[in-house]
Amino acid sequence: MLENDYEILESELNALSDAVRASSVARELEERLRSAAEAVHYRNVTGEDALLELLGSVVRASKPPILSTAWEEAWGNLFSHLIESILSSKNKSRILISRLYGGGPLPAEAERECILCVNPGSTSTKLALYRGLELAASEEVHLPPDYPDGVENRAKAIVEWVKERGIGAGDLTGIACRGGFVASVPTGTYEVCPAMVEDLAKPRIVHASNMAIPIGLKLKEEFSGDGNILVTTTDPVASDEMETGARMTGIRRLLRDGSGAHYLNHRAVHALVCSLLGASGNELTTIGAHMGGGISILRHVDGRVTDLVNAFSGVPSANRSGNIPLDVLLRAIDEGEISLPELKRYLYKVGGLIDLAGTNDFRALLHFRESGAVTRQRKKIELVVDFMARSVAGAVMQLAAIEKPIELVILTGGLSRSREFVGRIRRKLYPYFPVVVVPGAIEHEALVAGHFRARFRPEELKGYEDSRDDLRRLRSDERVLIETEVFTHPQLRKKENAPVTSLDELIYLARSMVSKHRAPRIAIVGAENEDAVVAAKQANEEGRFPIAKFLLVGDFYEVNKLAWEYDIKIDGDNYVIVDTDRPVEKALEL
């Protein structure tokens, strides 16, 4: 807690107290809030640990009921202040790792661990070196300009960085990697294995995080010495716990999956919030929005991510277009306005903020609005910022459509540092949910906490191949269920005497007549063609019973030849050939 935060904290405590009093709830809670505000005002509570404990106890005691309007807003502000105080604390790493570890205190041996976190980005690799629960060093390591990007060169640059920190062979006890697009698996901590590298050879999406696991294995070779380095990954990008109903789309053979989100940070902030409220990760239902270079939104129910808006085809972000309405997209493709290769580039590389405003830097956009933009440009920037905030809020509301009440919405990632952007989203969600802000990301602490669970609670360490194969079997069974036919043939509801507009409707109406009365007799005029004969065969042999009796009007020799080729029996009942060289005139006579 910083000294200059006292006045802000006192103001937030008073606002929460006023909101509680307006809600006509227990007098005891209001008095407790007033007492806490006075303690802060008169500096009766000093020291970082004491202030954090006071804040935590107030937040836990004053969690509002659903839809309590002003109370929710004030409580969300106070809770956000508690989290910001933790993130600015000198004990940040120790507090976060301990809370994310869960399940009791860490054993004393944890202090002797030396763990390297590897988190590749598009142009650099974020590294963090932990000695026990303390962050010893961190840096974003870039490749020299003349080095081609890839696992080998990144690994060499990381080896140099680690050695410069006085780490030699046998000193590292663990390497924690941010997992990329391995095969889909449930969330959790996994020991890195060769099967992951094999699956990463053909990833579903090319992404910088795919390099983390191969880099981790190369670093293990370099620094093992006589010791044993445990290499882990926690909550990889390819995690998937999506419930069956959420996988469905309007086309039964096209199913959604749960991969492509910032699982590592999402799960960490959910666990942190639950811990600060004195609850387990299974007890609270939350929606988290990670707003960084990509934006993903997840729903946590009973400790699982049951549905999500992924970071590639959902909300527009720094360089990704997000979801485009299909009718707009199809029309643009039909009219030649956009090609499939162009669409792919907009989806992954040059869409979103880059295309809308010419930058992928949100802060630069807001700075330009205040210093340099002309009136029309300021209006455009306002439009873009509100569009993005509305997109995030809309995705949150979409995921809130479940029977369980949503207890919290958590805004996190780099964009959550922007008070303006967070404020716009909050106003759009108010008064439906309390909103808590966890600015930035706590991915490295989450990797270390996952690594500690693997080391000291090995029963929680998951096997990659078994988890992957179990999920594949589950998804296969789900596909069988979703693709199960309900009606063998489409049951189309039509108004009486409405015109027939398609062959499917014609067949449906004919089947309806058969089921109610008897098979109609249909004349095919000019039956000496393949389409006519195949249509007659389909109508009589595809269903459970024939739907018509056919008069094949045309040249006897040609019609009979086609009937023989398509194995149609001219039986004088279901099929009758009417021989004529003037089929139209003969049909009129008939």
Whether the upstream peptide bond of residue 64 has omega within 30° of 0, thus cis, is no
Q: Using alpha carbons, select from 84, 78, 64, 69 the residue that is nearest to residue 11.
A: 78
Distances in Å between the alpha carbon of 549 and those of 516, 542, 555, 589? 16, 14, 19, 18
Token pair listed for 413 = 């990632």
**Looking at domain 93-262+442-484, which CATH architecture does it have?**
2-Layer Sandwich (3.30)
Task: State how far the Cα of 317 lies from the Cα of 293, in Å rounded to an integer.
Answer: 6
pLDDT of residue 499: 79
Question: What is the distance of C-alpha 145 from the center of its chain?
Answer: 34
Local structure of 387: helix, strand or coil: helix
pLDDT of residue 492: 66
pLDDT of residue 146: 76
- φ, ψ (nearest 5 deg) of residue 552: -95, 100
Give residue limits of the domains in the chain: 3-90, 93-262+442-484, 280-440, 503-589
In sequence order, the β-bridge partners of residue 412 are 290, 438
Per-block average pLDDT, block size 10, for the chain (590 residues)?
Answer: 68 80 66 82 80 85 68 85 92 95 92 95 90 95 83 93 93 95 96 95 90 95 85 96 95 92 96 93 95 95 95 92 94 94 93 95 93 94 97 96 92 95 92 91 96 95 96 96 83 72 73 68 87 84 75 90 87 88 88
- φ, ψ (nearest 5 deg) of residue 551: -100, 115
- φ, ψ (nearest 5 deg) of residue 441: -140, 150
- Tell me, yes or no, if the two domains 93-262+442-484 and 280-440 fold the same way: yes
pLDDT of residue 1: 47
- φ, ψ (nearest 5 deg) of residue 146: -90, 5
Pure H helices in 438-575? 443-456, 464-482, 503-516, 530-541, 556-565
Class of domain 503-589: alpha beta
For residues 190 and 233, is the Cβ–Cβ distance under 8 A? yes
Alpha carbon distance, N-terminus to C-terminus of the chain: 96
Regarding pTM above 0.85, the answer is no
- Report which residue type is found at 95: I
Task: State how far the Cα of 390 lies from the Cα of 428, in Å rounded to an integer.
Answer: 7
| Angle at which helices 48-61 and 27-41 cross, to 10° | 160
pLDDT of residue 23: 66
Residue range 280-440, CATH number: 3.30.420.40
Name the DSSP class of 515.
H
pLDDT of residue 12: 83
